[in-house]
Amino acid sequence: MTKTTKNPETIALHGGDYRSDPATTAVAVPIYRTTSYQFNNTDHAANLFALKEFGNIYTRIMNPTNDVLEKRVAALEGGLACVTVGSGQAASTFAITNVCQSGDNFISSTDLYGGTVNLFTHTLKKLGIECRYADPSDPKNFEKLIDDRTRAFYAETLPNPYLRVFPIKEVSDIGRKHNIPLIMDNTASPVICKPIEHGAAVVVHSLTKYIGGHGTVIGGCLVDGGNFDWTTDKKRQPLFNEPDASYGGAIWGEVVPQLTGANVAFAVRARVVLLRDLGAPLAPDNAFGIIQGLETVALRMKQHCSNAQKVVDFLSKHKNIDRVIYPNVHEGEIGDRAKRYFKGGNGGLVGIEVKGGVEAGKKFIEALKMFYHVANIGDARSLAIHPATTTHSQLTSDELLAAGVTPGYVRLSIGIEHPDDIIADLDQALTASSKTSLKAVS
């Protein structure tokens, strides 16, 4: 388990140790549609179950197609190990339940995807795990909420709708002072940001978005940075320092470095305990689909970023737009974070405030001809949604404002079409929506 020095474009095609299929020499990664694997003999079987040897046992826990994807994503993120799961939601669930048990708490940024908020505020609470929310505008807010039962920090690198880049190193440094790992959801910024390089211990992805990239497959993963010692403070991380009765009394923080020579107890426990017990594996067919997307993710991210910047430049001067939200448009420290943490661009997400409020926002969406109106991000195609009337429609007007969703706010996920065509579609829709809102007023 060593880190690669190769570049993302190369890792995406050659990362991990897959060169060709050992049985057939096929170059494309085969889909291993199997539930189980023939053991060589009874000793071999016993060794695999006892983790004395690593190898395939059952596809709920591991699969050779998924293995190629896992190694490539780990290398892309600068981590040492990766576990794929059935969705991004499963990845967030596993990330927390791998470190917290009933009575524990973790501290999360307030800037989060709505599905993650539901999971953290309601479902995990019912399991006895408390989420404490910290405003990331000041990293010290995380430190203020720590107590003896705090097990992790959690945040998104590039959360929407605010699109304020998270202070990764600042919060990770605070966490490491207290032996608390930082878990980063890097779904919206693969390739352009590597949170592990800035101190994050774990990265989670919804592979459904930019890495899959074509709107065809749901998937998720957890990448272990291999840079966090789970045994330094034994009381802080009991799940890695107390014998696990479900696995012959294994102490994961000790046994995994002995077996693998690396600090990847987080990934091993997620696989052999959580995948074993909670299920939710990524199907190998879906892993194959995501591998096809992964091969071009570096190329696509360049185009997403360059197109989004052109859209930002165009819309910033447009008479029917009140405000454009993009990581490098923020002023002061928040804008500086984009420069510190992002390399090669600022992502494909753009927020806009259409002049004329809710009606103008709705009309704008309806007037778009090329953009798809969908609840997704990170597709190769350009996408748009009006949160006030869709994803956030159950919120009161105060709650909407707190979530950063103003009445005319539209979220754009800029695709990889030609930038002139993207801009032309936005321009004609803005003209159409302004005419309709003027008619409605008169």
Q: Which two structure tokens, joined as six digits, stand for 267?
A: 């990934």
Q: Which two structure tokens, joined as six digits, stand for 13?
A: 């095609």
CB of 380 to ligand PLP, least distance (A): 16
CB of 186 to ligand PLP, least distance (A): 9
CB of 114 to ligand PLP, least distance (A): 8
Taking only Cα atoms into account, the Rg of the chain, rounded to an integer number of angstroms, comes to 22
In this chain, which of 87, 109, 346, 413 binds ligand PLP, going by CB under 6 A? Answer: 87
Please, are residues 325 and 351 in contact by the beta-carbon 8 Å criterion?
yes
Rounded Cα gap, residues 361 and 391, in angstroms: 14
Please, are residues 152 and 105 in contact by the beta-carbon 8 Å criterion?
no
Q: Which two structure tokens, joined as six digits, stand for 21?
A: 């299929």
Q: Give the residue carrying structure tokens 């032309």.
A: 424
Is the torsion defined by CA of 249, 254, 257, 258 positive or negative?
negative
Within residues 370-399, the interface with ligand PLP by CB under 6 A covers 377
Could you give phi then psi for residue 310, rounded to 5 degrees? -65, -40
CB of 171 to ligand PLP, least distance (A): 17
Q: Interface with ligand PLP by CB under 6 A: which range of 185-193, 230-238, 252-260, 273-281?
A: 185-193
Q: Which runs of E-coded beta strand occur in 339-382?
A: 349-354, 372-373
Which residue minimizes CB distance to ligand PLP? 88
Q: Closest CB to ligand PLP among 382 and 434?
A: 382
In this chain, which of 89, 98, 303, 346 binds ligand PLP, going by CB under 6 A? Answer: 89
Q: x/- contact string, 212-231, with ligand PLP (CB under 6 A)?
A: ------x-x-----------
Is the torsion defined by CA of 228, 234, 235, 239 positive or negative?
positive
Q: Interface with ligand PLP by CB under 6 A: which range of 110-118, 190-198, 243-251, 277-285?
A: 110-118
Determine if 161 is a binding residue for ligand PLP (CB under 6 A): no
Q: Closest CB to ligand PLP among 187 and 437?
A: 187
Q: Closest CB to ligand PLP among 281 and 356?
A: 281
Q: Closest CB to ligand PLP among 141 and 206?
A: 206
Determine if 156 is a binding residue for ligand PLP (CB under 6 A): yes
Please, are residues 408 and 360 in contact by the beta-carbon 8 Å criterion?
yes
